[in-house]
Amino acid sequence: MKICTMGLGYIGLPTSAMFAKYGATVVGVDLFPEVVNKLNNGEIHIEEPGLGEVVKEVVEKGNFRASLTPEEADAFIIAVPTPNNDDMYKSCDLSYVLKATETVLPFVKKGNVIIVESTIAPRSMDDHVKPLVEAAGFTVGEDIFLVHCPERVLPGQILHELIHNNRIVGGVTEACSEAGAKVYGLFVEGEIIKTDAKTAEMSKLMENTFRDVNIALANELTKICNVLEINVLDVIQMANKHPRVNLHSPGPGVGGHCLAVDPYFIVAKAPEQAQMINLARGINVSMPEYVVSNVKEMVSGVENPKIAVFGVTYKGNVDDMRESPAMDIIDILRNEGLECAVHDPHVESDTFKLLSADEAVTDAHLLLVLTDHDEFKTMNTDELAEKMAKPVLFDTRNCVKTNEGKMQFVNFGNLYT
Ligand code: SAJ
């Protein structure tokens, strides 16, 4: 089987590498020549555990090649970004998906499968992608098989989840679902569940919305508990002892290219009905301001306070800063005139000045942990405390190992004390 993947980012690259590892010939297409060159040298441009080894292996074997232009193939996989539009409800910007579809159509032959893996608003396949394919002269379900198969892998565990997760294969017709299922059968060991395209679109969106709403509940509970002087982290631990309760973890906000983006696609399609989803988004979006107001209280009275910020990515052990609440927090702090010295062992940035841990904490009045990287969980807080002007650590992720040493530890559970 030959596969042509459009987009070699966090989803397109691991997916291409897996197909190639399991015997397909894969050509991966990206817009950026530097990405294409790097991959063809067997190197990767993103951080994901195990991915570098697989890409090196499949490039050396000759099963995977990156290119700037598509080629004829049996199956085309579209894995390009779907950001929010800049409109009232932050609707789904389908333009990259539609452009990628148009770009592959001249290479498509009868019998081929076109799969959209990008997360898309409900009804996008039926109302937008199908008409494009039909306009090129094909009959969908007879000579071209059109499928939405949403990616559902967790960054940090992508390779394992690509193989073991269940896959939803939503065909525009039943024949499309059959054809799509055969493609993933090459390496997926989870269940391959066939459905229609609009059910697949909405299921994917609700998976992330479920998580976003639950995190909002935990974040709201944090604010309530602080007013009532109750330790929210203890409450969550207790409540989760119940066999049917699973309160999520509060944090500095919800980031990433999925949870902070996808729920709006539903809201934009049915704003009157999508009340709770919209409210949950608002609660999560409010968390950076909440963190900042607490930080300001902790350093009140200090002249020219310096904040050492640890972690800028949207979650631990990734290098991805998209929609990261940490970036919002740093922006707000700086706009309010507070000095921020930023450290993140997972990020290299030309646009953003990053310091070593020691440099960042030197003479700082607060160490603000915004990301749960493994490096932070077991760091020597006594050594860091010695360098600080005021040895206080505010752990918004409740991840740093505490001790009875020189550092004073604050988290969402004891903010009120
Ligand atoms: N977060 C919390 N509290 C929690 C859990 C997460 O504040 O209890 C925050 C994280 O720190 C992060 C954000 O939420 O800022 C999102 O992180 P995540 O680990 O929940 O999810 P993502 O965005 O890395 O990946 C999600 C996954 N979806 C679900 O778990 C339902 C993944 O399976 C999807 O493939 C991915 O979205 C996607 O691409 O849609």
pLDDT in tens, 345-398: 999 988 889 999 999 999 999 999 999 999 999 999 999 999 999 999 999 999
Of 158, 249, 258, the residue with max ligand 1 atoms within 8 A of its CB, to mutate for a pocket test, comes to: 258
Residue 349, pLDDT score: 85
Which residues, 6 or more positions from 121, have their beta carbon under 8 angstroms from its beta carbon? 91, 92, 94, 201, 205, 265, 266, 268, 269
CB 280 within 8 A of CB 216: yes
Residue 170, pLDDT score: 98
259 C-alpha to ligand 1 centroid (Å):
6
Residue 352, pLDDT score: 82
> DSSP letter at 106?
G
Residue for token pair 């990261």? 324
| CB contact burial 403-417 (16+ within 10 A = b; e otherwise) | eeeebebbbbbebee
Query: Residue type for 246, please?
Result: N
Q: Which of 367, 392, 370 is nearest to 314 (CA)?
A: 370
- Rounded to 5°, the CA angle 362-366-372 comes to 100
Say what percent of the chain tops pLDDT 70: 100
- 176, 258, 340, 399: the catalytic one is 258
Residues β-bridged to residue 134: none
Q: How does pLDDT run across 57-78, given as a tens digit for each residue?
A: 999 999 999 999 999 999 999 9
300 C-alpha to ligand 1 centroid (Å):
33
CB 250 within 8 A of CB 232: yes
* pLDDT, mean of residues 283-299: 98
The helix or strand, by DSSP H or E, that contains position 374, with its residue range, turns out to be: helix 374-377
Q: Is 155 in the pocket of ligand 1 (CB under 6 A)?
A: yes
Which two structure tokens, joined as six digits, stand for 35?
């990405």
Main-chain dihedrals φ then ψ at residue 165, nearest 5 degrees? -70, 155
pLDDT at 128 > cutoff 90: yes
- Cα within 13 Å of Cα(337), Cβ side: 5
Q: How does pLDDT run across 311-355, given as a tens digit for each residue?
A: 999 999 999 999 999 999 999 999 999 999 999 999 998 888 999
Residue 40 pLDDT grade (very low, low, confident, very high; cuts 50, 70, 90): very high
Alpha-carbon distance of 405 to 229, in angstroms, equals 25
Annotated catalytic residue 225: no
CB 396 within 8 A of CB 339: no
Which two structure tokens, joined as six digits, stand for 135?
């306009």
The helix or strand, by DSSP H or E, that contains position 75, with its residue range, turns out to be: strand 75-78
First to last CA, the chain: 62
CA 324 to ligand 1: nearest atom = 15
Q: Is 211 in the pocket of ligand 1 (CB under 6 A)?
A: yes
User: Is the interface score ipTM higher than 0.95?
Assistant: yes
24 C-alpha to ligand 1 centroid (Å):
30
Residue for token pair 């060991």? 189
Q: Are strands 366-369 and 339-343 parallel, antiparallel or unpaired?
A: unpaired
pTM score, whole prediction:
0.95
212 C-alpha to ligand 1 centroid (Å):
8
